Structure 1
């Protein structure tokens, strides 16, 4: 069993935290605009896409995500999820700015990322990129952040 990832946009950290507290950490996709992206982890896997867009090597700082819920997870080594991180605005903006004409080449390049273990599917990723880019664009236009909910 792997980790599941849902990406969503929301106006404020407090709003996200309140919803997660009220729902005991259920995915916020029923409340906030977002995407179910299954196994596409933000820091490394989505970071590989951002690196490809920027035509540079991947580094941990590309996504600059940080834990925002639950805060107790930082100190509890036995906590096993769910978690929510907020992606850095630079990552949001890079994703929002992906031009449609670059999608096929980016999907092909992204599919070769080591994290896909040789099973990256360019045709699937070519559908994911415009969806993720559109979500990031809506977040940017609304002055919102982009978040990732994850659960085992």
Structure 2
């Protein structure tokens, strides 16, 4: 197993955090669960791997703080502040096992939305050569599908004046 990342759009943090235990990129919403416009990005985390794509799209050097996120769930105001508070949390606490939800900054949404069709293939070729993808065979189509899915999601979010969020689960 691993960590899974679903990118989705929502009108605000409250809507983004609805039923946080349910993955966002599902073919058929869970009964009573929210339905999101989402992309299953499997192992593509916001800070490192998505950050490398953002750097390539902007044609700038990568840095770890390129993709700014804000924690939506679990609520930061309830997070343990000390080691004693951390150790006192129950094993099933979302602060220990998740899931987590991060809000991506508008500039990330806009960078993705602004990727023109004629740059997609070049960006995929550059992106597939980052160290984190060393074990993924080049040209298998996964990165092209993911990049275009993220770009199109960002365009829909931009059009509706929504933000992008990342659901993180085990």
TM-score, length-normalised on structure 1? 0.88
Is residue 74 of structure 2 the alignment partner of residue 70 of structure 1? yes
Q: Report the structure number with the largest CA radius of gyration.
A: 2
Equivalent position of 2:11 in the other structure = 11
Q: Distance in 2 between matches of 1:49 and 1:86?
A: 17
**Correspondence 1:1-152 to 2 at 5 A:** 1-17=1-17, 19-20=18-19, 25-29=21-25, 30=29, 31-71=35-75, 74-75=79-80, 76=86, 79-119=96-136, 121-122=138-139, 123-152=141-170
5+ residue gaps in structure 1? Answer: none
Say how many residue pairs are matched.
Answer: 148
Please give the TM-score of this superposition, normalised by the length of structure 2.
0.80
2:57–2:115 contact (8 Å) kept in structure 1: yes
Deviation string for 1:10-39 (max 9, x for gaps)? 00111222x12xxx5112343111111111
Return closer, same or farther for 1:120/1:109 CA change in 2, 3 Å cut-off. farther
Q: Point out where structure 2 has 5 or more consecutive residues left out of the alignment.
A: 30-34, 81-85, 88-94
**Ranges of 4+ aligned residues in structure 1 off by more than 4 Å:** none
